[in-house]
Structure 1
Amino acid sequence: MPPLVLVCGWTNADTAQVDAYLEMYKKLGYHALMLPSHGIDFFLPERWVHGAAVDQVRRLAAGQAASLGLIPHVMSNGGCRSWYCFENQLLQARVPFHVVSMVFDSCPSIPGALSDDPITTQVRQTPFLRHLVAQRFVWRWILVFLHLLLWLTGRKHPFTLHYLRYLIRDAATPKLFLYSSADELVSTSDIQGAIQTAQSMGSSITCVDFEASQHVSHLNSNPALYASSIQAFVTTHAPRFETQY
């Protein structure tokens, strides 16, 4: 049975937009499940995020002799958050699974003093709010207050959790990075920093720079390159079998 692809959409993406990725995987012969992302996911307890989808994966895993292979396809930091929470849900539910490979689209952000937090990311993706806080110094104050809040509550920054898990703990998992030098939301330096970290951990890495496309718009800007990059990667690291779900 082929691995199940978990398409983890970016924050507040329309279902129709993410459907295009499911359709792409369907054409490649893979079954895909969508995990939508909402801005509130960054602030909810992890056990509240995508809990309803656990039963779907459990049913698929129950029909196999071995653990279910998964390919998380995470888009932006919202997608990273979705997979982080959902993986915890699967572990808590004792669903037998293993991660075959991972696809990163326009992510991850590298944690640091100036990393964009979920509030700032939400602002940048909402035209009205972006207009209200257009001044750069306001963004800096938002970051300062969020980091202060995290310090007071003892919580780790979500981006730190993603970094430690995907790039450090999961070093043995092959990774495909799809990004663009023109991305204005998640900087190229963040993506390249993630790539360098993964390489330093000995991970098998494939990288594709779409150069001119904006954040999470690589499939729309160059569908042929996007699909062929995915196909080459999953064929190498997650071969498809004829058995269907």
Structure 2
Amino acid sequence: MRCSEQIITGVEINKLSTGAFSRNMADLDNLEYFIKFPSPNFNYNQNGEHDFVFVVNEEKIPVILLFGWAGCQDKYLAKYSQIYEEKGLITLRYTAPIKCLFLRRYQMISIGEKLVKLLHELNFDTHPIIVHCFSNGGAFLYQNFSLALEKAPKQLPIKGVIFDSAPGRRRVLSLFRAISAIIGGNTFYNFSVSLIMTMFLSMIWLYEVISNTIYPRPTFQSNPLENLKNEKNKWPQCFIYSKNDNLIPHKDIEYFANYRRNLGVDVTSVCYEKSLHVKHLAENRNSYVKTVYNFINKCLNGNN
């Protein structure tokens, strides 16, 4: 590899978590993220895949944040970060724990704050940053990251966000399919456990809706599509999705993208016909890579 990798755990992150971003962190498990920096002798003028070259300030190399889908193993997320690393960009990969995405959802607030604090501690507040999030799990993490940005005493230079297979409406059937995919296998045990967990989590969803209606909590927003469509930030957004997605219907994403476009957001959309949920890179590699490269280039050269 032409990039050096550091694996940093939550023990080290907790040393950074002070002041306004420290509350409610004691009960969180240690967080693990993966970060890669380009090697000192990386040639930004070389031609690589698609002969695409980013023109960057080598003292302020762009940072790509990759937020994985629920249950995502890092070895799969690394396949996406590699397309950025090959161009000499810094990548930081993180996937929120399943228990925080489904059960202890309020803890996502603290995770978002930790990530913002971490980026400041890494001195990335002078680097252009682009977020690439996957499925509703990644979108939910991005939502809490965005909320943490609003509260941060110093802003980060976010230049754009890529939504891969997201966001979608909360549906019981989609939840069941997501849980089945996480558990794996196609057995009666898988079906039974997935069904029980779906029923249980559906009750949690209902409780959240009712309780937040009676006692509104602006800092706790648990529905990515509905909450993010009115996000205050107006940086460019790119949507990569498919008509063959069995977890998040393409009409959900198109509704969200059009809503954001009508608010004046610069929206880019690519819809595939056959690729499955979060499988667009594997099934449409050339088109996928060209799409994200063009979008990043637009973000880096824009005035946002």
Pairwise TM-score range, normalised by the shorter structure:
0.7 to 0.9
Matched residues, percent identical?
Answer: 20
Structure 2 partner of 1:243: none
CA distance in 1, matches of 2:72, 2:206: 29
Provide the aligned C-alpha RMSD in A. Answer: 3.1
TM-score (ref. length: structure 2): 0.65
- Greater Cα shift, 78-87 or 188-197: 78-87
Structure 1 partner of 2:84: 25
Structure 1 partner of 2:159: 100
For the 8 Å contact 1:8–1:72, the answer to whether it is kept is yes
TM alignment of 1:73-152, pairs within 5 A: 73-90=132-149, 92=151, 94-110=153-169, 114=171, 121-127=178-184, 130-132=190-192, 145-152=203-210
Unmatched 5+ residue regions in structure 2? 1-59
Structure 2 partner of 1:158: 222
Structure 2 partner of 1:180: 242
Alignment size in residue pairs: 231
For the 8 Å contact 1:181–1:210, the answer to whether it is kept is yes
Unmatched 5+ residue regions in structure 1? 241-245
Structure 1 partner of 2:290: 228
Q: Which amino acid aligns with 1:126?
A: I
Q: Which amino acid aligns with 2:128?
A: G
TM-score (ref. length: structure 1): 0.79
Deviation at 1:28, TM superposition (A): 2.8
Deviation at 1:41, TM superposition (A): 2.0
Q: Which amino acid aligns with 2:108?
A: E
Distance 1:116 1:46, change over 3 A: farther
Structure 1 partner of 2:299: 237
* Greater relative contact order (Cα < 8 A, sep 6+): 1
Distance 1:58 1:133, change over 3 A: same
Q: Which amino acid aligns with 1:158?
A: S
TM alignment of 1:50-89, pairs within 5 A: 53-61=115-123, 64=126, 68-89=127-148
Deviation at 1:48, TM superposition (A): 3.6
For the 8 Å contact 2:100–2:106, the answer to whether it is kept is yes
For the 8 Å contact 1:9–1:74, the answer to whether it is kept is yes
CA distance in 2, matches of 1:180, 1:217: 9
Distance 1:179 1:131, change over 3 A: same
